[in-house]
């Protein structure tokens, strides 16, 4: 993953994240509702309270509220743009700007703290996990496997080399190393792995997915260079699709980890 500064620039707008979420939902080989899977693992009682750190545009807490959960829901994120979008969609949920590394909540204030696809952006992971363990009775983390999307990763690396872009750094919190990292903080760590794949028959969504890794500010500042990279990505994806017989299948896996102190 990129640096924390890269992450803050990337998530200054919700649009790139929406592209990735839409791609996973539209092109999954088999439909897996991650929100439903997480809620099923958590088995929330009606009065249970949830703090979702790195909440982004608030989809998970919105999912819970839309399905009738009446307990306290709080979403925390560093991005004002993400929180503004979440507030517009679900005004009856509490949205707070803040940092997971220094949570301004009381000891055991929440039944659950959730951190979905965000811990690999955190500079001081032990500090963040300690804060989550302090304010929550239970903790749920979601992250990708390092073996996910090998074809997309290969094309992204080729793009970086061709255009002089910084290569993607290995994840600091993948499904493979999560049990050990979480086990250093929590007494119990239960893992569930969701196996799937992205399947494409056209090059455009592949190019759009990879290009969504650019920060919106970069796109605005260098529109011609961005257009050149998008064109190159589309051409390369089309060539690879032809080599693969018209079907690009990229396996992926997501790890869901339910923890308690």
Q: Walk along the chain (261 residues) and give the pLDDT tens digit of each residue.
A: 444 445 555 555 668 888 999 999 999 999 999 999 999 999 999 999 999 999 999 999 999 999 999 999 999 999 999 999 999 999 999 999 999 999 999 999 999 999 999 999 999 999 999 999 999 999 999 999 999 999 999 999 999 999 998 877 777 899 999 999 999 999 999 999 999 999 999 999 999 999 998 866 677 688 899 999 999 999 999 999 999 999 999 999 999 999 999
| pTM, two decimal places | 0.89
Closest CA to 108 of 138, 150, 146: 138
**Per-domain boundaries in the chain:** 4-148+169-197+252-260
Say which residues have a Cβ less than 8 Å from residue 102's Cβ, sequence separation at least 6: 127, 131
Coil, helix or strand at residue 148: coil
Is-contact 149 176, C-beta < 8 A? no
We find that the CATH architecture of domain 4-148+169-197+252-260 is: 3-Layer(aba) Sandwich (3.40)
CA distance 234 to 20: 16
């Amino acid at each position: 993953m990129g640096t924390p500064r890269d992450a803050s620039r990337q998530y200054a707008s919700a649009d790139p994240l929406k592209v990735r979420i839409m791609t996973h939902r539209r092109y999954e080989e088999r439909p897996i509702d991650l929100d439903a899977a997480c809620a099923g693992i958590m088995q929330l009682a009606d009065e249970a309270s949830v703090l979702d750190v790195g909440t982004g545009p608030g989809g998970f807490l919105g999912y819970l509220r839309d399905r009738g959960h009446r307990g306290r829901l709080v979403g925390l994120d560093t991005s004002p743009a993400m929180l503004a979008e979440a507030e517009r969609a679900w005004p009856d949920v509490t949205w707070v700007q803040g940092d997971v590394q220094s949570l301004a909540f009381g000891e055991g204030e929440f039944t659950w703290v959730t951190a979905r696809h965000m811990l690999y952006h955190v500079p001081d992971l032990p500090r963040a996990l300690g804060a989550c363990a302090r304010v929550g009775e239970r903790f749920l983390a979601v992250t990708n496997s390092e073996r996910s999307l090998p074809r997309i990763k290969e094309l992204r690396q080729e793009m970086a080399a061709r255009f002089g872009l910084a290569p993607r750094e290995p994840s600091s919190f993948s499904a493979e190393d999560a049990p050990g990292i979480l086990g250093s903080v929590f007494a119990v760590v239960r893992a569930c792995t969701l196996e799937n794949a992205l399947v494409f028959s056209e090059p455009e969504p592949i190019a759009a997915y990879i290009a969504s890794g650019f920060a919106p500010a970069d796109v605005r500042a260098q529109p011609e260079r961005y257009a050149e990279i998008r064109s190159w990505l589309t051409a390369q994806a089309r060539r690879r699709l032809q080599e693969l017989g018209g079907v690009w299948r990229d396996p992926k896996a997501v790890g869901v980890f339910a923890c308690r102190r």
